[in-house]
Amino acid sequence: MSGLSHDPSLTPDEKILLWREMVRIRCFEMEAIKYYQGGRMGGWLNVQIGQEAIPVVIRSVMGPLDQVISSYRCLGHAIASGMTMCSCMAELFGKRDGASKGKGGMHSFQSPKTRFWGGYGFVGTQTPLACGLAFGLKHRGERGVVFCCLGDGAVNQGAFHEALNLAALFHLPVIFIIENNRYAMGTSVARSSAMTDCLARRAEGYGMDWDTVEANAIPEFRSKLLIAHRRARDQCRPCLLEVFTYRFEGHNIADANKFKYRAKAEVIDHQSNHDPIQLWGATLVQEGIAREEELEAIRAQAMAEAKEASQFAKDSPFPSADAILQDVYWEVDHQTTAGKTGRHFFND
């Protein structure tokens, strides 16, 4: 999905597009879960089910130079960026036609073409990288903005605070977005963070603007993001935005404890009453923008696209053994002296 108009009031078609994109993400992840549980994927599978409004709203405000970088909970960001379901699914299957040629899995999703820079497995590591991307934009004189998504579990990492400081000090066009889904693996925000009522207030320590919003309040979320975007792009003023959301699944799909650190009733309440797809769909019907049958047709289309992607992934070959060292170091791929000797960083 490419960026929509910057008018805060969305047209009916744009509203439907947001719903379609959320449904595409949901269908992709549900299809991936099926094959993960069937033993077809290695590593972890961390899905964004319940959090779909976030990647979709971010993409809806993005201009042609803007970039996204996120934590490993990144499949929604990848799909919303315009990466194809086929290349994403094949990557999860570890196949050659995957986005990272099957060598990365879900923690190495990257797509320079769609300006999505991945999916980082080490908590908080994307935050200093976001500063680097933003510094690059500024250095090249490009009026773009970097959207850096992180979890509530990343806000106490040292790297995050260093990143906030640098972003404020160097006036970098970066918007840090805390996807506060209340848990970091099995640890609730209350058990891990001081000042639990508002994580975004940490920005005050760096003289940085901050705000909070509910992910499912899509128009309000989008308006706040548009304000932050304009401020970052036009004045190089960074911002920390905390977005309240909820993950319906466990930390990952192999999380056997998903009802041990939170009550089952809490999960069911969110699935029944706070599902972004259900809520936004109901809004569309209520506003007379779409009929139930039209939404169902969109859902069926998204499911068919996801199934096609899993078939594509099954049919794709595994990478060959001799490809294992390719695309790892630029020096090796380009046959530099360092690449041949293996001494990449120290020359003597």
Residue with Cβ nearer ligand TPP (4 or 25): 25
CB of 309 to Mg ion, least distance (A): 27
Query: How does 6-29 read in b/e, with b if 16+ C-beta sit within 10 Å?
Result: eeeebeeeebbbbbbbbbbbbbbb
- Longest CA pairwise span in the chain (Å): 70
Contact 68, 147 (CB under 8 A): yes
Q: Binding of ligand TPP at residue 200 (CB under 6 A)? A: no
Residue with Cβ nearer Mg ion (31 or 152): 152
Contact 204, 210 (CB under 8 A): yes
Stated length of the chain: 348
Residue with Cβ nearer ligand TPP (73 or 115): 73
By a kind-dependent CB cut-off of 5 to 8 A, residue 121 interacts, out of ligand TPP, Mg ion, none, with ligand TPP
H/E element, 56: helix 53-61
How many angstroms from the chain centroid is the CA of residue 139?
Answer: 25
User: Which one of 152, 209, 242, 275 is in contact with ligand TPP (CB under 6 A)?
Assistant: 152
Residue with Cβ nearer ligand TPP (119 or 144): 119
Q: Binding of Mg ion at residue 152 (CB under 5 A)? A: yes
Q: Binding of ligand TPP at residue 251 (CB under 6 A)? A: yes
User: Which one of 81, 111, 181, 193 is in contact with Mg ion (CB under 5 A)?
Assistant: 181
Q: How far apart, in whole angstroms, are the C-alpha atoms of residue 111 and residue 217?
A: 29
Contact 295, 19 (CB under 8 A): yes
Q: Binding of ligand TPP at residue 50 (CB under 6 A)? A: no
User: Which one of 28, 109, 116, 183 is in contact with ligand TPP (CB under 6 A)?
Assistant: 183
Residues binding ligand TPP (CB under 6 A): 71, 73, 121-123, 151-154, 179, 181, 183-185, 251
Residues binding Mg ion (CB under 5 A): 151-152, 181, 184
